[in-house]
Amino acid sequence: KAGVTQTPRYLIKTRGQQVTLSCSPISGHRSVSWYQQTPGQGLQFLFEYFSETQRNKGNFPGRFSGRQFSNSRSEMNVSTLELGDSALYLCASSLQHPSEQFFGPGTRLTVL
């Protein structure tokens, strides 16, 4: 089976812009979770989607949003970008709860 894929792999934006990141889970996985990884804060949970519904949400501002499509692919959007949003954004998919989450390679976002 193909692994979790994320696009784009690298992104450079300026403050105030918005960005959309995409994640394709492993075939058959219906749960997709998103994480932000930074050197200072480590891995922080953003939100989780299952069957097109947000089931769980971390402690991030409303500028961070996401959605999931009927084929389980997921997108996350960050609006009004701030310098502090620079991070590696990882998505992970899983088959059922609780079970192993398989991570994608991440999207490296740089906000200038």
* Site residues for other proteins per CB under 8 A: 31, 33, 35, 42-45, 47-48, 50, 55-59, 90, 94, 97-106
The Cα–Cα gap between 52 and 63 comes to 19
Q: Are the C-beta atoms of residues 104 and 6 closer than 8 Å to each other?
A: yes
Nearest alpha-carbon partner for 56 in 68, 48, 64: 48
| 37 token code pair | 């990884």
Q: Supply the minimum distance, in Å, between the C-beta of residue 15 and other proteins.
A: 26
Output 51 or 80, the one with its CB closest to other proteins: 51
| Residue 62 CB, nearest approach to other proteins (Å) | 17
* Least Cβ distance, residue 16 to other proteins (angstroms): 29
CB burial of residue 62 (10 Å; 0-12, 13-18, 19+): exposed
Q: Please, which residue, 86 or 105, has the CB nearer to other proteins?
A: 105
Q: Which is nearer to other proteins, 29 or 81 (CB)?
A: 29
